[in-house]
Copies of this chain bind each other. A is one copy, B any other.
Amino acid sequence: MKPKYCIINGVQLDIDKAGIGVNDLALQRGYGIFDFFKIIDNKPVFVQFHLDRFYRSASGMHLTVKYSREELISQVLQLVAANDLPVSGVKLTLTGGYSSDGFTLGEPNLIITQSALPSYRDINGNGISIITWEHQRQMPEVKTIDYLMAVYLQPVLKERNAQDVLYHNNGLLSECPRSNIFIVNRNGQVLTPANNVLAGITRGRILELQTDIDIRPADITLEDLDNAAEVFITSSTKNILPVTRINNRVIGDGQPGFITQRLAGLLVEQIHLSTKGS
């Protein structure tokens, strides 16, 4: 289930032969942005929200996207048709471009890749285990390619038998490297960190759900986390994934909570509607 093709600057290429020159600022200086969305039945999920954020990230980093929204979608659909991976992920990466002096921005390179999706079902049943780590991502509101700390921490996660890490700074929770965090407090309120986080598309969809559940952004402390009745993380690939252990302490009764499950069902409904184009 390996994709055969990618698209670089509008040109479809065999992925094993496609490359980016060594002077690109993504390689040289870690400078670039991206976005990532799911493909279900060959159709992109919540693609307009992802493109909104993609253009916003580019602009926030002084990078220009030389394609319109329609051109981007057309390239994505071309790649999806070529690769034949009906359930997968598509990544748009925009780099700092080739730089004459190794520092000044060049003309951005746009890379579109597709990948098979990891299955989270096996761990979804009982929820995952996470650890907490003091760190604040630089430029948290922008979806930059900076995952230095996240990749660096992989061995630590293995060592502690955890599946993800939750960053906190000055006593406040922010986010996991590739997902947003939500807690359900003892009053049944559903809270997600309000500041210094990436505006996750799944997070956004949950905040806008029409339901009697009280869902809102808020400042959340480590103590709030300790007292949470339920905890879950969200992302485009994971949807809603229950967290049942934090730093090896069991949350609630160690099983995915009732509100988490209700929200997971509502979210899946929204995803279904998104791919039906309604």
Residue ranges of A at the interface with B (Cβ–Cβ < 8 Å): 6, 8, 15-16, 18-32, 61-62, 91, 93, 95-96, 101-105, 111, 113, 115, 118, 135, 138-139, 144-152, 154-155
Shortest CB distance A107–B (Å) = 15
Which of the residues B30, B101, B135 comes within 8 Å of A26, measured between beta carbons?
Answer: B30
Which residue in B18, B24, B31 is a CB contact (below 8 Å) of A148?
B31
Decide if A93 touches B139 in the complex (CB within 8 Å): no
Q: Which residue of B lies closest to A111 (CB)?
A: B22
Report the nearest B residue to A8, measured CB to CB: B22
A-B contact pairs, 9 of them (CB 8 A): A6-B22, A18-B19, A27-B111, A28-B145, A29-B150, A31-B147, A31-B151, A62-B155, A135-B138
Cβ contacts under 8 Å, A144 to chain B: 30, 148
A15, B111: Cα distance in complex, Å: 20
Which residues on B sit within 8 Å (CB–CB) of A20?
19-20, 22, 27
Residues in B with CB closer than 8 Å to A148 are 29-31, 138-139, 144, 146
